[in-house]
Amino acid sequence: DLEGLDGSKKEEAIKERIKQKGKQLVGRDEALGTTPRQLTDLLGSLCDLTSGSGDKGTPIVLVQGYFDDYAKE
């Protein structure tokens, strides 16, 4: 659907698709690759991926804006 679009036109098309998506996405392509998880599990996974592990000396990871809605201004 986004072929042939570039730059700001592609970005606007993505935002419009996000705004127009339905609430019931079970069994639809839009839901592929997503698994409902607790917020703490998502943040823990993100921090582990970005920092390596929980070993001594692992840097602190500050997560901001991870759950912001991309389509909202």
User: Mean pLDDT for each consecutive 10-residue tract of the chain (73 residues)?
Assistant: 86 85 75 68 76 66 76 74
What's the whole-model pTM score? 0.44
Answer positive or negative: Cα dihedral of 50, 63, 9, 20.
positive
**Domain extents for the chain?**
1-34, 35-73
Nearest to residue 48, comparing CAs of 37, 63, 32? 63
CA atoms within 13 A on the CB side of 32: 3
pLDDT of residue 69: 78
Q: What is the dihedral of CA 38, 18, 69, 47, to 10 degrees?
A: 50
